[in-house]
A and B are shown apart, each in its own frame.
Chain A
Amino acid sequence: MGGTGARGRKARRIVKILVTGASGMLGGAVATALTLRGDRVRVLQRRPASLPGVEEQRGDITDPAAVSVAVDGVDAVVHLAAKVSMTGPWSQFQRINIGGTATLLDAARDAGVTRFVQVSSPSVAHHGAGLVGVGADPADPDRARGNYARSKASAELLALAADSAGFAAVAVRPHLVWGPGDTQLVARIVERARSGRLALVGRGTALIDTTYVGNAAEAIVAALDRAAEIDVHGRAFVVSNGEPRMVAELVDRICAAAGVTPPRLRVPVAVAKAGGSVVERLWSSLGRTEEPPMTRFLAEQLSTAHWFDQRTTREALRWSPTVSLDEGFARLAAAYRAS
């Protein structure tokens, strides 16, 4: 994986790795990839992960007792567990994303863990304007947009601040991860397209990077393997497929893969943003917990460019995507046909 040859594989000591948040699509993919190459993997999450060959521990990332049990005897940690949502009160994001990361970092250092991969998000450095061909700017909790991004920014800063001799911390920021089994981006687009409620913001011409889940998992594994290297530890890396596409085209492709009709509705950007804010407030006040159809954050995300300079990432991690967008869409289509 990630450029490690057969010789490297033989030479490598069997290590034990904790993956948090493995019930999600990306966490599951990371745990599976590590297991498949022969690492011993323990996972920590609240819901069952149901991954073969993996030692499963159920528990909450904010529970110090559960966390210290989870890190006991592991060499490395990949931290994915987070509250991923576009709405919700700040206190929850703070408790889970910031508090959870702090708890895990403390426990990991106490347990003698030597490598720590913080799975982060490019939104931690995003101030609302477009991101065009940029690298990984420093995380900025003050100016990041929305509770999720702000809390993840703080969490990343915590993790990178913990980087020290004997504890190599690195942050990986995959952008818009998707693939078969995705309940976030893909499932929502498909579900709304099916019910005729999907509208494109503007003409959908904003250029957006995405990451096929397998590529993101490989990048995280590569970061884990190289965490101690001089040009890797203490740094953050944006990860994407390096094949930005217009939002309209992405939506079209996803709908085509799922066999649903792509949207014909278009919502002007300003309306979407204003509407997003209203819906956001209304949704929260109604006490609804599932995601609202449009938030201001999402409207911004879908109406401004987000694509990245991948040169540093690929050089430092010695990683590059193995699944192209087209191949990814084909796999997605196969998964939909099978279900």
Chain B
Amino acid sequence: MVSGDRSMVPAELPGLDPAWSRLVTAVDSEGVERTWHVLDTAGTDTGAPDTAGPSGYAGTLLCVHGNPTWAYLWRHLLARFSQPDAPPWRVVAVDHLDMGFSERTGTVRPLAQRIADLGTVTDALGLTGPVVTVGHDWGGVISLGWALRHADQLRGVVLTNTAVHQPAGSPAPTLIRLARLPGILPAATVSTQAFLRATLALANPPLPESVRNGYLAPYRTPRRRAAIGGFVEDIPLTPEHPSWSALTEVAQGLDRLAEIPALLLWGPRDPVFGAAHLRDLRGRLPQAKLHRFEGAGHLLAEDADVAGAVVRWLADLDRPTPNPVRSPSPEPAVPWRPLWAALAERAEDRSVALVELAQGGRQVSWALLWRRIREIAAGLSASGVRRGDRVALLVPPGADLTAAVYACLRIGAVIVVADPGLGLAGMNRALRAADPAHLLAVGRGLAVARALRWPGRRFGAGAGAAMLGVTTLGRLARIGAGSPELPPAPGPDDDAAVLFTSGSTGPAKGAVYTHRQLAAMRDALSALGLDPKAGIVAAFAPFALFGPALGATSAIPDMKLTAPRTLTAAALAEAAVAVDASAVFAAPAALRNVVETGNALDDRQRAALANVELLLSAGAPVPAVLLAQAQALMPGAQPHTPYGMTEVLPVTDVTLDEIVKAGRGDGVCVGRPVPGVEVAIAALDPTGTPAEQPGSAAGVTGVTGEIMVRAGHVKDRYDALWLTERTSSRNPGWHRTGDVGYLDPDGRLWVQGRLAHVLTTPDGVLTPVGIEQDVESLPQIGRAAAVGVGPRGVMQLVVVAETRPPVRRAGPAEPKLADAVRAVTGLPVAAVLVVPTLPTDIRHNSKIDRSRLGRWAERVLGGGRPGGL
């Protein structure tokens, strides 16, 4: 029986439509009549179905809250699915008995009873069509219990921060353990609001008081809170617990859901459910799409756009796009050649493969390198590193890292590479996201890993690590030398690497590459004009890894590769001397320092640099002036600056000559696609939204849009970022770069900035890079950034600049400078602010953090103080 005639829900709670609220009365499995409170988008005051009627729905989202929340947790989902453009799914969010605004029965209801209760409600509601369960916390278990009993109508499962099993070795969640200390439980959960308030305090950002009051509304008195204690008591931590078998049944039943679409939405900042629980769930639901919302926590539905994620996921369910088989990109003409092939081919070669210039220098021959790789591979294998296991590598570029990388790849372990340039916080996020099973680090890395409790079994590299008592590369090699049998090599479509982006546009993202894709990256790099017989100076981390794969002798200069600015001209020259280098790779920041220290070179060093034929600088836009200055030190070299990103590198390439020939334009000229790469433009509309489909090459000349790339060396997917992946690969075979630019009539690509930094003004769309170049052409300006303030569509253009000489504190520019900026850009610049230094990303030290700057400008121009940039 369904009745909707009365409700105890307060008339006004933020985000809650009172029309959703209704009561459902039914006889439970013990034969007692009970009354549940539910929120239901099909509910009305009369209890009758809404206009569309249940038959108008594609199905029902059955939302199940945990402890100590109530159906209010799902209000954003109800609201989103009440909008006309939402998929036609009904949303029903049930308050458990004794929770929320459901009846207070005074009974203790263990897990099995809770699952049965949910079935009673859905029967009473007459939910017969397809159902997607949506669960949180303990409600996740209950929803899965329901799912297993209603397999015939189950369309999918959505889980947010929950667990079905307490993984061995991981301590029970602190909150729960504390709450269950003898004598604490009733005090924490029932007689006071402590547990309730502690849970609500987990929201990030903090909940507004009105929302917090919404959560507290049904739990104002100890009597109304009784079940909060009951729920905590019902968590089985040992097999003796009465709910142990029910929980085990749910956990073990999940393999029966293998064919059921599943979506895991996760907030990593959760002291209740952590990485171990997520790992356990992924193991049980391997088919699940996973999106980790960086920065979000336990109350995920409060912290992140869960509703938006569910809408997209349902859209994919209802409209199954034929998921292209792996690698829709043009197949390489040549068969897959493993990344280690060049090394294996030179197994007998006693000539130098790798030279480290740091700390007195070290040389490794091809033969020794390959032998070490095989020994370490065998050692890792003997130590339990399995194919598909992730191994985080926190080792600076050099012989050790090279050996470790290729050893991992050879046995099918997946390398996780996060640049220390991300900073500690960034590294921390990256490693938690990638969740490696093993972690191989130098002494300092091990110390940090221990301090920050990074996941993964430890291995060490170098003397510092040996002292910490972990198994080192040397020990692994000795183990491997004793049992040289290697497991079979991985296949081309197995995962090979997780590479992290620089994080200059939000939290760093992990990009997963397969072996085929990594090999394609090697081949694309080789197509930039590398002669395998030549020596290269690898002063740029990615190239330090690829040198051996390219078959080129590599020298790693004496510098911190993660801090490009530490490369001096002399260090570069010494590396060139060591391998008789014909090619040099250096990040722009490194090149800048080389140019600045060029005077210190002696004749021998100058002569070595004069032999360089190819100078590659990548990682961030490289000003032509800088390339020209570098060329002055390497007069025989043609400078190139490839364009690309962690997700696909390289995309295009351009020489200094070509840049000069192209002249000034509205952006940075990055040249033409390298062989095997296709570039397309998805034109922006006046709201700054890129077209769903790329324009034809002829039709898009001069049109600004999102840059799309198709190539064999595009990443396979983003790691644990299903939503991001869905956006970036929504055009099958293409990668949406998130960069904006245009193609000129000569087929050259011009980059104009990030899609997220496009300004939508009343006069149309503006892109930042061209404006910044114009401003930077003023003699009194150092670097400049163009950002927008105000709402989309009516943004005002603001220029933030460093002056020469720099100002001591941030503030409005003098009128004369503002006039000059307006004149040189020819645009309606609302404000010109001057700052001592612009914020840049840590890794490249050259990409201006426009997002941060935009937020700062928004605050300052709103009347805030100009400090705190």
Write the residues of chain A forming the contact surface with B, with a CB cutoff of 8 angstroms. 130, 132-134, 202-207, 242-246, 248-249, 252-253, 256, 269, 303-305, 307, 309-311
Contacts and interface: CB of A to CB of B under 8 A. Distances in A.
13 contacts: A132-B790, A132-B862, A133-B794, A133-B796, A203-B811, A203-B865, A207-B789, A242-B762, A244-B830, A246-B812, A253-B815, A305-B863, A309-B794
A125 B676 CA distance: 58
A305 B861 contact: yes
Nearest to B763: A242
A243 B830 contact: yes
Contacts of B861: 205-207, 246, 305
B862 A202 contact: no
Contacts of A203: 811-812, 865-866
A49 B120 CA distance: 81
A253 B862 CA distance: 20
A249 B863 contact: no
B762 to A, nearest CB: 6
Interface of B: 762, 789-791, 793-796, 811-812, 815, 818, 828, 830-831, 833, 858, 860-866
Given A244-B830, A245-B831, A130 B862 contact: yes
B853 to A, nearest CB: 14
A287 B77 CA distance: 59
B804 to A, nearest CB: 21
Interface centre among B796, B833, B865 (most CB of A within 10 A): B796
Contacts of B833: 205
Contacts of B864: 205
A244 B863 CA distance: 13
A246 B866 CA distance: 12
A204 B813 CA distance: 11
Contacts of A206: 861-863
Contact of B863 (A134, A243, A303, A311): A303
B812 A249 contact: yes
A252 B811 CA distance: 14
Contacts of A311: 762, 793-794
Given A134-B791, A205-B812, A305-B861, 11 more contacts: A132-B790, A132-B791, A133-B796, A205-B831, A207-B831, A243-B828, A246-B812, A253-B815, A303-B863, A310-B794, A311-B793
A202 B762 CA distance: 29
A118 to B, nearest CB: 25
Given A132-B789, A246-B831, A311-B762, A202 B794 contact: no
Nearest to B831: A246
- Shortest Cβ-Cβ A-B pairs, 4 listed: A133-B790, A206-B863, A207-B861, A133-B794
Contacts of A304: 862-863
Nearest to B791: A133
Contacts of A244: 796, 830-831
B372 to A, nearest CB: 60
B790 A205 contact: no
Contacts of A269: 863
A229 B818 CA distance: 41
Contact of A133 (B795, B815, B860, B863): B795
B497 to A, nearest CB: 44
B762 A249 contact: no
Contacts of B789: 132, 207
Contacts of B795: 133
Contacts, number: 77
Contacts of A310: 762, 794
Given A249-B815, A249-B831, A256-B815, A207 B791 contact: no
B835 to A, nearest CB: 12
Nearest to B812: A248
A245 B798 CA distance: 10
B210 to A, nearest CB: 18
Contacts of A245: 830-831
A252 B831 CA distance: 13
A145 B207 CA distance: 29
A249 B796 contact: no
Nearest to A311: B762
A307 B790 contact: yes
A309 B866 contact: no
B791 A205 contact: no
A252 B815 contact: yes
B608 to A, nearest CB: 52
B291 to A, nearest CB: 31
B812 to A, nearest CB: 5
A242 B833 CA distance: 19
A244 B828 CA distance: 10
Given A202-B863, A202-B865, A246-B861, A309 B791 contact: yes
A256 B819 CA distance: 13
B815 A205 contact: no
Nearest to A205: B860
Nearest to B822: A326
B866 to A, nearest CB: 5
A207 B794 contact: no
Contacts of B858: 132
A202 B811 CA distance: 11
B865 to A, nearest CB: 7
Interface centre among A243, A256, A305 (most CB of B within 10 A): A305
Given A132-B789, A249-B818, A311-B762, A207 B865 contact: no
A244 B798 CA distance: 11
A245 B833 CA distance: 11
Contacts of B794: 133, 309-311
Contacts of B796: 133, 207, 244, 307
B749 to A, nearest CB: 33
B36 to A, nearest CB: 41
A189 to B, nearest CB: 15
Nearest to A324: B828
A202 B789 CA distance: 20
Nearest to B792: A133
A100 to B, nearest CB: 33
A223 to B, nearest CB: 20
B431 to A, nearest CB: 39
A237 to B, nearest CB: 15
Contacts of B863: 130, 202, 205-206, 269, 303-305
A58 B83 CA distance: 57
A134 B862 CA distance: 13
A205 B762 CA distance: 22
A243 B830 CA distance: 6
A202 to B, nearest CB: 7
A80 to B, nearest CB: 27
A311 to B, nearest CB: 6
Nearest to B867: A203
Nearest to A244: B830
Given A132-B790, A243-B828, A249-B815, A207 B866 contact: no
Interface centre among B796, B860, B863 (most CB of A within 10 A): B863
Interface centre among A133, A205, A303, A305 (most CB of B within 10 A): A205
B646 to A, nearest CB: 34
Contacts of A252: 815
A246 B833 CA distance: 10
B830 to A, nearest CB: 5
Given A133-B791, A244-B796, A305 B831 contact: no
Contacts of B791: 132-134, 309
A204 B790 contact: no
A206 B866 CA distance: 10
A134 to B, nearest CB: 8
A303 B860 CA distance: 10
A296 to B, nearest CB: 15
Nearest to B813: A249
Interface centre among A207, A269, A303, A309 (most CB of B within 10 A): A207
A70 to B, nearest CB: 39
A186 B815 CA distance: 18
Nearest to A325: B828
Contacts of B812: 203-205, 246, 248-249
A206 B815 CA distance: 16
